[in-house]
Amino acid sequence: MGEPFRHQLRVRYGECDAQGVVFNAHYLNYLDTSINELLRVACGSYRALLQRGIDLVVAEAALHFRAPAHFEELLTLEVAVVRFGRTSLSSEHRVTRDGQLLAEGTLRHVVVDRATLAKTPIPTWLRAELGPWAVGAAQDGGGGGGAG
């Protein structure tokens, strides 16, 4: 079974609101940063996907807040691929500080043809390259029914 991909990020001043905590909208940026960092490790870069003719677009996002993060705190961001559909993949994310869960979320990305922006099946090479960070049902090779 795969393991979540982990990286760290230090909270910047501009990400904090008037109460001195990370403003909620920045967590979506953190999740997006995690996907980009995962793709950098798995595929060489996000640009590598584009060069191979595909792109990923966010179709769905959800966040749950558990505790606040503050300026200059070092956060650990985790991401794991939890589902491969025919044309989409889902990821689960956790944001922690010293082991304490601060936020968790999910993203669903749809794979599109870069030239036409039409949905396209997930390439076998992308499934393979993300495999080490696929957990649970995601590792079944993809397919199951469902929308995308």
pLDDT in tens, 59-84: 999 999 999 999 999 999 999 999 99
What are the contacts of 46-53 at 24+ separation with CB within 8 A? 49/126, 50/114, 52/123, 52/125, 53/113, 53/114, 53/115
Residue with tokens 């769905």: 60
The residue that leads in pLDDT, 61 or 139, is 61
Query: In angstroms, rounded to a whole number, what is the distance separating the alpha carbons of residues 137 and 120?
Result: 21
pLDDT band (50, 70, 90) for residue 136? confident
Is 5-137 a domain of CATH 3.10.129.10?
yes
Q: Is 33 helix (H, G, I), strand (E, B) or coil?
A: helix
Question: Looking at the predicted structure, is the pLDDT value of residue 143 above 50?
Answer: no
| This prediction's pTM | 0.90
Domain edges within the chain: 5-137
Residue with tokens 């649970």: 136
